[in-house]
Amino acid sequence: MIEFHLDDRSGLSPYLQLVRQVRQALRLGPLDEGDQLPTVKEVVAGLAINPNTVLKAYRELEHEGLVAARPGVGTFVTATLADAALVAHGPLRQDLRRWLARARRAGLDEESIEALFMTTFRTAAEEGIAWPPSSRPRGWAKGTGGAGR
């Protein structure tokens, strides 16, 4: 079982934060096929959020084929995201570290690095080049601050 948390200052809608936390748990291991998600009542009672927010997040995960609702029982994980992609994290992280070191040597401070990364990330995602269609994050454009609409 996982426990959700909400960050009021993340700029992401609560529903999207829940969806991402499940995806993350599927990717990194805490959630596995067959595991049960907290019930809507549990999430709502824990976070003091609107029940429809949780329902919407669970529907979205269901739509993505990651979980399935068993009426009267609960919502269960039906797929996992912890696949080959996880293996790629190591080398990618190394590349990123090297890139960060170069950015610093070039005189960029943290803020400039973050801004450069985010604008590149956004432009790439908008142009659809960074993601093969199957792995493009859903609802991405909606939750990222809305720049460049």
Partner 1 sequence: MAAVIQAQGLGKRYGRRWALTDCTLDIPAGRVVGLVGPNGAGKTTLLHLTVGLLAPTSGSVRVLGGRPAANPAQLAKVGFVAQDSPTYAGLRVADHLKLGARLNPGWDAALARGRIGRLGLDPVRKAGKLSGGQRAQLALTLGIAKRPELLILDEPVAALDPLARREFLQGLMEAAAEHELSVMLSSHLVSDLERACDYLIVLVDSRVRVAGAVEGLLATHHRLTGARRDPTRLPADQHVVAASHTDRQTILLIRTVGPVHDPAWAVHDVGLEQLVLAYMRHPETTALGRPTLAAVPPDATEVSL
The residues binding partner 1 (CB under 8 A) are 6, 8, 11, 13-14, 40-41, 44-54, 56, 145-149
The least distance separating partner 1 from the CB of residue 33, rounded to whole angstroms, comes to 26
Q: Which of residues 13 and 36 has its CB atom nearest to partner 1 in the complex?
A: 13
Looking up tokens 């595991």 gives 35
Q: Which of residues 21 and 53 has its CB atom nearest to partner 1 in the complex?
A: 53
Report the distance separating Cα 27 and Cα 21, nearest Å.
10
The least distance separating partner 1 from the CB of residue 42, rounded to whole angstroms, comes to 9
Q: Which of residues 49 and 81 has its CB atom nearest to partner 1 in the complex?
A: 49
Q: Which of residues 128 and 148 has its CB atom nearest to partner 1 in the complex?
A: 148
The least distance separating partner 1 from the CB of residue 95, rounded to whole angstroms, comes to 32
The least distance separating partner 1 from the CB of residue 98, rounded to whole angstroms, comes to 33
The least distance separating partner 1 from the CB of residue 11, rounded to whole angstroms, comes to 8
Q: Which of residues 6 and 108 has its CB atom nearest to partner 1 in the complex?
A: 6
Quickly list DSSP for the chain.
-------TTSSS-HHHHHHHHHHHHHHHSSS-TTPBPPPHHHHHHHHT--HHHHHHHHHHHHHTTSEEEETTTEEEE-----SHHHHHHHHHHHHHHHHHHHHHHTT--HHHHHHHHHHHHHHHHHHT-SS-GGGSPTTHHHHS--TT-
Q: Which two tokens stand for residue 101?
A: 């070191």
Q: Which two tokens stand for residue 145?
A: 């601050």
